[in-house]
Amino acid sequence: MSIAVSSIHRSRRLRRNAIPLLSILLVAVFLFPLYWLAVTSFKTESEIFRTPPTLFPHQFDVKSYTEQLTSSNYNIMQGFRNSALIAFGALAISTLLAIPASYGLARFSIAGKHLMLLLFLVTQMLPASLILTPLFILYKQFGLLHAPFWATILANATAGIPFTIVTLRTYFITLPKELEESAKIDGCNIFTTFWRIMLPIALPGVVVAMVFSFLFAWGDLIYGMTFISKEHMRPITAGIYNFLGFQRTSWNHSMAFGMVSILPVVFIFIFVQKFIVSGLTNGAVKG
């Protein structure tokens, strides 16, 4: 009997230890490309092509980083400004439109509500190249191609709104209806209840939706390359082409450029990680 009990405890202990080890392994697998990006940016050209490859630079070379600011081929600060303008513009439009839409789909009985949600989910499965041509024709008819920043901002907002609505709707559903009923008893109408009570409580979910809307727009390349013809107006993601040559690719410079371009994303996750974890966990309760 004692042998059976000890074997049960041993198996439980193994399972309990296996979960953290498996988690560490998965994190290492997913973060390895980012690690390889970082170490390659500090390697020299000769070490990058060494066989077997080195997992850590033998000689740190920061020239690829310093040339990001001093190079005349590409103005990285201008690229940051362009990407920030596009990302914050798309963020503002998608958030302002998606918040009331998601609240309405979560709280009110609307005809065809489930069909709308299905269509929103379907749009997330469509590649950007599929809707690129219709958007280009539409923007040409409305004259938006003469305002390339607006065309790119609207395109990114269009891609981010469905995801924002689906995410926020799930979060609004988790909020107790008793709060709205108490607000009605106190004399609040629908808009006052939404603005003063429900929206502040849903702040973690709103922050999550805003962060992902920003990331969609910040990482955009296809819309920026299509709707913006002037190179100095293109987002920072388009700057990678300056290091991709026909006969030679400067891998350490391109890796350094990639590290620099993701810095805003890293800082965003550092400062708002509390809201992101809370928003994702609370919004995953039910759908």
Q: What is the 3-state secondary structure (H, E, C) of 271-283?
A: HHHHHHHHHHHHH
CATH class of the domain whose range is 73-283: mainly alpha
Do the Cβ atoms of 239 and 261 come closer than 8 Å?
Answer: yes
How many C-beta neighbours within 10 Å does residue 98 have? 26
- Digit-by-digit pLDDT tens for the chain (287 residues) are 555 556 666 666 767 777 788 888 888 898 898 888 888 888 888 888 888 888 888 888 888 888 777 765 677 888 899 999 999 999 999 999 999 989 888 888 888 888 888 888 887 788 888 888 888 899 889 888 888 899 999 999 988 888 888 888 888 888 888 888 888 888 888 888 888 888 888 888 888 888 888 988 998 888 988 898 888 888 988 887 777 665 667 788 888 888 888 888 888 888 877 766 665 555 444 44
Do the Cβ atoms of 165 and 120 come closer than 8 Å?
Answer: yes
Gap between the Cα atoms of 211 and 239, Å rounded: 23
Do the Cβ atoms of 197 and 180 come closer than 8 Å?
Answer: yes
Task: For the chain, give every domain's residue range.
Answer: 2-64, 73-283
The token pair at 183 is 């607000």
